[in-house]
Structure 1
């Protein structure tokens, strides 16, 4: 245990290669979800954005809850037994492998992240899980991920795979995100799925100014990333895929993350921030 005199705020033990003076995407999300594996610099990102969007933590929960529902769908209805979870972040109570393996204990999951804190926690968590593994790689370098020896060892790309980019692509600030995702999609077998959630510019007079103000604060915060894209821009991330309708009788398209096949009737209105997160699942024909 760390002493109270440590110069680091938290966690008490800082893994090699971690700079507690710079915000980490994974640790900022951990803070937003109420976790304890974050530093003051990470919480400062949320504090800054909360000056214009008090419910900023809702962005993280919208992503997380969509992930839970999407994994259940992919495993149960999609018949997927292989998952490539990009930018997995710090482990929480309901991780991809726990959801999928509740349906099929043999479902294989490979998490990809390049944050030393994530890798350290993930490897410790999965020490006795023979079908779930962590890989250290940059998810914005598709070939580094796809050709990684451990990815190739544990996933069979001749069979369907679910590729997860949940809460990740809005941290890719380049304009060639469509090309990046095409590299991933081209590597997938027919019958594979891609699940995406992303910060959304709703393109309405009421919400667009909020989205753009949050974007400005994220981009200029210690984290330095967090783009809010329109639905038209998000569709480019699913090249050649058949988008699954996000609800009964709905058109196949991106929808609000909280409204992608919700678990039950909604009794409270979505907050403005919850209306700035979109999600979709696409299938490769």
Structure 2
């Protein structure tokens, strides 16, 4: 799926809408709008497997004609892609063109939301450049975050950190990896490691396919408040120019951070209540990465209030 520079990966936008669609705190009127947008996205990208599973779980209405039409288009497209691969193998041999043909098939499976990882492995086998191999792993990670499949995320992360980085890799991809790994750590409650990885990436952030820079700053401040000692919090967060430029855009976050550091606990608890209720035009528990840990995260905030020296 094509992603414009600076734009969030469309599958992750869809994943967020699916999360809201199943959330009990989202009102029915909003869910009607979300359901229409989800149906449109699923149809546009021929996500037959997802459409079938959503229909089976009664999230979307069952429409056999639409599902059959999707499957027909998928079969036709796979045949075209296989024909291109066969032509490249017969007439061009081991070449970049053959690799691009396999890549096109991999990206097609990703577009329709299928976990056909064997095609990505085949494409990797045809890939020589380390940077291109790393990009294939990033595609796998995006698929993992779409499904919130941590088994699908952890193994590729290990591969990127070890084998591929030993072979090389440019600084931009290495910095992107820190954000991916930070998001994984935050999603699995390793807030300290997440904070360190996010802070290392604060001045080099380019990972807009995951989320906006404002959201990245929000995650950075959140995990840092939980994890850092008072001195480090001051140096790395409170006075950080990159954070200061955007923290005012995020409702109540500046008040929350600074009142905690300044020991202004009345203001802190006021901001705490507002901030946990209003993030991203909704409650913090409407964040799909944080919602499973909402109670634990708030508890850690309370602990941090009394443990920061």
Give your verdict on TM over 0.5: no
- Say which structure is richer in helix: 2
> Bigger radius of gyration, 1 or 2?
2
- Say which structure is richer in strand: 1
Higher relative contact order (CA 8 A, sep 6+): 1
Compute the TM-score of the two structures, normalised by the length of structure 2. Answer: 0.28
